Structure 1
Amino acid sequence: MAITVKNRRVGIAPRKVRQVCDLVRNKKASEAIKILRFCEKKEIALMLTKLINSGLAIAADSDKYDIDNLVLTQIFADEGPTLKRVQPRAQGRAFRVRKRSSHVTLELKEA
């Protein structure tokens, strides 16, 4: 049985989140946290670290899992709602700015 943790409506584009998710996929939870600690994309790394820690807390409460052997089997970022804004430009024009968001899902299983 797996532990599934979700973080919805994260204010970061899913394309950027997927780059960091690819670094920690199929790694042990402790190793993934070490990788994220030194990742250059700090905001995304912090969000993913909190998500992993949340999954580990759920595992610790249930007493069914060995925390040392938990592996991130699935981690992916789906597209969330897009906020559409207007950026004023020269000569009365307006450009559309799309502020994208993402839904991040993480699954922990015992190895």
Structure 2
Amino acid sequence: MGKRKRLMAEAIKEKKSKTYFAKLNKCPVSARKMRPVANLVRGKSVEDALVILKTTPKKGARFLYKLLLHNIDNYKQKSKSGLRIEEAQLYVKTIMVNQGPALKRFIPAPRGSANPIRKESCHVYMEIGSKAEEMNIKVNDKVEQSNNTEE
């Protein structure tokens, strides 16, 4: 591996270590039905999102609830700040719902014919962020900038 490739790989690895995300592939709910549920929790705090998803009577809410729990576990494993979940002020930073593969089936129809059925699925990507960590990063950047201007 060349130097440029190694540096790029290290940069990508560093960036991934700072983000807390979870993916759900081939979820057996169509993207069209999952997006309204995802819009309910976008930008909300993790505690509020858990309550919303627990009480929402949609099939997609169950899958998003489990995905959010997995995302919280990822935060606990990756986080180097040592903050508890309540102190970190976690919130749903990004949530994307994309179309997944469709299962194609046929149902018998009159006169020996068949009608097609498409069972749609979706891919969900969810990223959570910590407001406390983002504030620390902003403060550290401002301190560095002020130190550079003084010199």
TM-score, normalization: structure 1? Answer: 0.91
| Larger helix proportion of the pair | 2
* Structure having the higher Rg: 2
Contact 2:23 2:125 in 1 (8 A): yes
In the alignment, is residue 16 of structure 1 matched against residue 33 of structure 2?
yes
Equivalences, count:
110
- How far off is 1:105 after superposition? 0.6
User: What stretches of structure 2 of length at least 5 have no aligned partner?
Assistant: 1-17, 132-151
Which of the numbers 69, 85, 92 marks the counterpart of 2:112? 92
Write out per-residue CA displacement over residues 29-87 of structure 1, whole angstroms, 9 at most, x where no aligned residue: 1110011111010x321211111111111111233354221111111211111111111
Distance 2:60 2:44 in 1: 17
Identity percentage of aligned residues: 32
DSSP-derived class of the 1:7 partner: strand
Which structure is higher in RCO with an 8 Å CA cutoff and minimum separation 6? 1
In the alignment, is residue 101 of structure 1 matched against residue 121 of structure 2?
yes
Aligned-residue RMSD, C-alpha: 1.3
| Larger strand proportion of the pair | 1
In the alignment, is residue 38 of structure 1 matched against residue 55 of structure 2?
yes
Residue 59 of structure 1 corresponds to 75
Question: What amino acid sits opposite 1:34 in the alignment?
Answer: V
TM-score, normalization: structure 2? Answer: 0.68
